[in-house]
Amino acid sequence: MKNTLLILVLTLINFAYSQTISEFTLSKDIPETRLGIWEKGDYKSLVEIDALTINFRNAVADYSKYIDYTYTDSLSKLFYNQMIKRYKVAIEQLEKANNNYDLKNIVLYYGLDDVERNIESSAIVEENVMQFVKNGKAIVYYKGDRIYTLKSKTILTADEILNRGYETKVYYDIPENCINIYYFHLGW
């Protein structure tokens, strides 16, 4: 009986603490510089193109260091050289971009070159935009209206003992209508 009660209490405690909701503030200013636009569903995020370019330049510098000092095998060098090449193309696009540039025009993804992904894969751009959003350095519109806060809801997911992780949704009012979903897998 005691064991059953203990298991029930521990399960309830785990359920009670298995989700976290937080709120963060977005940019209140509109910078006097070129802005890039990232649209996803009902959300439109605007970020400074020059700041995004700096992030990409830093990534090129980091990947160059990996090639020069860390990795000696040919596959790693090929991987990082192809990443550097894509980043340099993205930097060129951003340098030529006008205000309100659609950031989905930039093809930037992790991995070796892939013909199918070279068409419209912008995973790295989306990650960078979301980092600006979470750091309060982006202007965000939701259903056409400017918003100044977003919520982040992290849920512990556990289908099986080895298949569990955390799912984080960033949203304005309804978690199902989110600007970003991130999943971190803890199991095998």
10 within domain boundaries: no
Domain presence at residue 137: yes
pLDDT on residue 16:
42
Residue 117 lies in a domain: yes
Note whether residue 96 is domain-resident.
Answer: yes
Domain count along the chain: 1
Where helices occur in 66-103 by DSSP H, the ranges are 74-96
Q: 132 lies in which domain range?
A: 20-185
- For the stretch 112-122, pLDDT in tens is 887 777 777 78
Q: Specify if 4 maps to a domain.
A: no
- Answer yes or no: is 63 within a domain: yes
Question: pLDDT under 70 in the chain at which residues?
Answer: 1-18, 71, 158-163, 187-188
Q: What is the Cα–Cα distance from 95 to 88, expressed in whole angstroms?
A: 10
Tell me, yes or no, whether 2 lies in a domain: no
Tell me what pLDDT residue 12 has: 45
Query: Does residue 152 form part of some domain?
Result: yes
Give the integer Cα–Cα distance in Å for 131 and 34: 18
Return d(Cα 126, Cα 6) in angstroms, integer. 44
pLDDT tens for 68-88 read 877 677 888 888 899 999 999
